[in-house]
């Protein structure tokens, strides 16, 4: 009788801990472990090759892609496209002997809630096919205090990259609500500001580019875990915030300049309905961002407030517009959805009335569609028309506060 042996090393069952049977042979536990290590190394090599083969999109290609998903915001899209192009061109540059080192171009977006800051960042990450994560700055605190540590930002990026450090080191991090960590005034705090100025100080090492030891499970609650060193020099940081009240800072600065013979002419040239277009680094400093963090966010741009026409286009035109999404949702149940034009106008009017921006369009649509999405899968009805009377009836008992939360 033939004795069972490992097809790789030739040892028999007595000389190994475990012999795993296959269709035409055996493999022992030690050979299986070595094979697993070889596979892991090969996958890492392939991942590194994939990162190194990153294709750089030109600024006009990036903007054209953004145009398909984001309505308006031409200025912000142009700034973002150039910044992202320069960033990844910097990563791909061969090592030169001229000692000219191109610095990283982190970005800060200033715009009212619901104008598309997060959508812009997410769309760019999808185009480039790089690891991307969104972090809410409001939960960050200094190490040792209740809340999330600064390093948790990189933990999330590593998780998105399946702990491939090489891929994560070329990813994009969007820090939302950056304005919520502003200190309470232009002057340094004399007391401990653990969720404001303290967080800004902690972010400096991430933004400027340094090697940070990242806990893979997040936080410092597992002291036994092995830290993962991550170099942030090639991670692009995009920060966004509504900066509620910064318009007053901008207005004060603009008014202080309009003094003298040309004051009336200069004042007439200022569009006081859209003061965000005049935002400058000194306004961010007056709002409460420390000068060091402003210096590490060299590209500053703004997002236009959305008018009625822009909100209507957002509902209908993008590739993944809300109306197209609901049409597809119902189509999956074999139901053909039609939404009257006056319903579209009604939804836009409500979004403007409640001052909830583009984000609020989804909450309004959900409120209108909810009952039908509940009922239609259980009926034999194959067509559904949303009329103005039905939309008004569904929204008649809904408060603006509830829509804002949605």
* 41 and 77 Cβ atoms separated by less than 8 Å: no
Q: Give Cβ neighbours of residue 114 (< 8 Å, ≥ 6 apart).
A: 306, 356, 357, 358, 359, 360
DSSP 2-37: PPPB-TTT--BGGGSS-EEE-SS-EEEHHHHHHHHH
φ/ψ (deg, to 5) at 73: 55, 45
**CB atoms closer than 10 angstroms to residue 151:** 21
The pLDDT value given to residue 258: 46
For residue 365, give both structure tokens: 């649509």
CA distances in angstroms from 386 to 24, 84, 124, 263, 383, listed in the order given:
63, 41, 34, 53, 10
> Is beta strand 107-110 parallel, antiparallel or unpaired with respect to 336-339?
unpaired
For residue 256, give both structure tokens: 């202080």
Place of tokens 């304005």: 179
Q: Is 162 exposed, middle or buried (0-12, 13-18, 19+ CB in 10 A)?
A: exposed
* 73 and 115 Cβ atoms separated by less than 8 Å: yes
For residue 177, give both structure tokens: 């609500």
Q: Is 161 helix (H, G, I), strand (E, B) or coil?
A: coil
pTM over 0.75? The answer is no
The pLDDT value given to residue 51: 46
The pLDDT value given to residue 151: 84
In tens digits, what is the pLDDT along the chain, a chain of 406 residues? 567 888 888 888 888 888 888 888 889 999 999 898 888 777 766 655 454 455 678 899 999 999 998 888 999 999 999 988 888 888 777 666 666 777 888 999 998 877 888 888 888 878 877 888 888 888 887 655 555 778 888 988 999 888 888 888 888 899 988 988 887 655 555 555 555 677 888 888 888 888 888 887 655 555 566 888 899 988 999 999 989 889 888 988 887 654 555 555 555 577 777 888 899 999 999 988 989 999 999 999 999 888 889 899 999 999 889 999 999 999 999 999 999 999 999 999 988 888 777 878 888 999 999 999 999 999 999 999 999 999 999 988 776 556 655 4
Q: Give the ranges where 288-355 is alpha helix by DSSP (H).
A: 291-295, 308-316, 322-331, 341-354
């Amino acid at each position: 009788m033939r004795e069972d042996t490992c097809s790789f090393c030739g040892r028999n069952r007595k000389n190994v801990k475990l012999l795993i049977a296959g269709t035409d042979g055996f493999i022992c536990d030690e050979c299986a472990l070595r094979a697993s290590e070889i596979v892991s190394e090969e996958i890492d090599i392939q991942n590194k090759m994939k990162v190194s083969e990153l294709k750089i999109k030109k600024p006009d290609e990036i903007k054209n892609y953004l145009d398909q998903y984001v309505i308006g915001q031409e200025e912000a899209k142009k700034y973002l496209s150039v910044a992202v192009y320069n960033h990844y061109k910097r990563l791909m540059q061969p090592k030169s002997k001229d000692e000219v080192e191109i610095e990283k171009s982190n970005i800060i977006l200033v715009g009212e809630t619901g104008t598309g800051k997060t959508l812009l960042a997410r769309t760019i990450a999808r185009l480039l096919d790089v690891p991307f994560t969104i972090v809410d700055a409001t939960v960050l605190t200094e190490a040792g205090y209740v809340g999330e540590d600064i390093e948790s930002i990189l933990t999330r990026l590593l998780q998105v990259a399946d702990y491939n450090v090489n891929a994560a080191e070329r990813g994009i991090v969007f820090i939302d609500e950056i304005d919520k960590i502003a200190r309470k005034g232009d002057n340094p705090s004399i007391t401990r500001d653990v969720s404001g100025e303290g967080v800004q100080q902690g972010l400096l090492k991430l933004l400027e580019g340094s090697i940070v030891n990242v806990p893979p499970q997040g936080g410092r609650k597992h002291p036994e875990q092995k830290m993962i060193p991550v170099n942030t020099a090639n991670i692009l940081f995009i920060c966004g915030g509504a900066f509620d009240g910064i318009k007053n800072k901008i207005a004060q600065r603009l008014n202080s300049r309009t003094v003298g013979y040309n004051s009336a002419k200069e004042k007439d040239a200022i569009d006081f309905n859209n003061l965000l277009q005049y935002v400058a680094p000194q306004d961010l400093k007056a709002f409460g961002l420390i000068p060091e963090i402003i210096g590490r966010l060299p590209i500053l741009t703004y997002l236009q407030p959305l008018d009625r026409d822009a909100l209507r286009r957002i509902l209908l035109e993008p590739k993944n517009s809300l109306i197209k999404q609901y049409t597809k949702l119902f189509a999956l149940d074999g139901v053909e959805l039609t939404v009257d034009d006056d319903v579209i106008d009604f939804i836009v009017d409500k979004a403007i009335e409640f001052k909830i921006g583009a984000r609020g369009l989804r909450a309004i649509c959900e409120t209108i569609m909810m009952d039908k999405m509940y009922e239609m899968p259980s009926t034999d009805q194959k067509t559904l028309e949303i009329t103005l009377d039905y939309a008004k009836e569904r929204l008649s008992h809904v408060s603006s506060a509830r829509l804002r939360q949605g």
